Amino acid sequence: MTTPASPTSGVQLLEVAPELAGQRIDNFLRTQLKGVPKTLIYRILRKGEVRVNKGRIKPEYKLQAGDVVRVPPLRLAERDEPEPLAQGLLERLEAAIVYEDKGLIVLNKPAGIAVHGGSGLSYGVIEAFRQLRPDAKDLELVHRLDRDTSGLLMIAKKRSMLRHLHEALRGDGVDKRYMALVRGHWATAKKQVNAPLQKSNLRSGERMVEVNAEGKEALTVFRVLRRFGDFATLVEAKPVTGRTHQIRVHSKHAGHCIAGDSKYGDEQFTREIRDLGGKRLFLHAYALVVPLPEGGELRLEAPVDEVWARTLERLSA
């Protein structure tokens, strides 16, 4: 008879019943340790923390009747902690990492994933990374991207890195550049939009931003990257200030809404882009330059996703 797994986080000794002989250790633990995330089970196996008959084993080890499996203390989720996130999402975000060191993670965030939970969402990127990096106790977002915006997103693993990058962001030490597909022919001479922005909340609770003389100063520098006749233009946008929805509202103010923008966009233009397969907001944080605490700088670029690339191919056909 197999000793049932204890719900506590102490050491557990599990004796293997005859009918379970031949089962792989990883499958055995997944069955015995109810409620323990698979990622945690594979982590303790990989680190050699699980012992069989007091010896180390590999994840593919096949159990024998009478084996005694020692499971180390596990930190199980408390009742008020969020449920473990879907393995597919965690793997997708892990694969999206473009840079990581002892103090910083930078990922190429996919479009459609919020950076944090709230507004009806139980999770976001930061909640996912707290599960992916349980040993990093001080994980915090350095800045934010809108849910439907893709691209480079920084997560600090240490408070010292968070303070360093916030200080750099307040000055001019961080260079962030975006690509946006906008409606119409953006004039080469239109190199910047300098228009104050003000936030307001609609009755529905939705946040909207508009150009308003009473708002906060906002400046975005633009550069034409590629034209698609008079129908659309691919532009680079560099936000000098960091206001909510700044690039989206400044693009609209300039007369060139961003494709796929349900809040500030043009329905007809978005529909035509969607007909080409472009079912997303066409705003992507593609380039980042940040100073490192020990000196020097980190320069990163993130590729666009397949939907974006395929849509531009069809536009140019």
For residues 18 and 12, what is the distance between their CA atoms, to the nearest angstrom?
19
Torsion of Cα atoms, 83 then 133 then 120 then 251, to 10°: -160
Distance CA 89, CA 174 (A): 29
Q: How far is CA 258 from CA 16, 186, 214, 222, in A?
A: 61, 12, 25, 13
Contact between 280 and 308 under an 8 Å Cβ cutoff? The reply is yes
Cβ within 8 Å of residue 121, ≥6 positions away: 114
H/E run at residue 150: strand 150-156
96: helix, coil or strand? coil
In the block, tokens 């349980």 appear at 134
**What is the DSSP secondary structure assignment for residue 118, as one 8-state letter?**
B
- Judge contact between 284 and 234, C-beta under 8 A: no
The residue written with tokens 């307001």 in the block is: 200
- Residue 71 sits at φ, ψ, to 5 deg, of -105, 130
What's the rounded Cα separation, in Å, for the pair 282 and 258? 6
Token look-up 């965030």 returns 109
> Catalytic amino acids?
146
Host H or E run for residue 45: helix 38-46
Phi/psi region, residue 21 (left: phi>0; alpha: psi -120 to 50; beta: rest), is beta
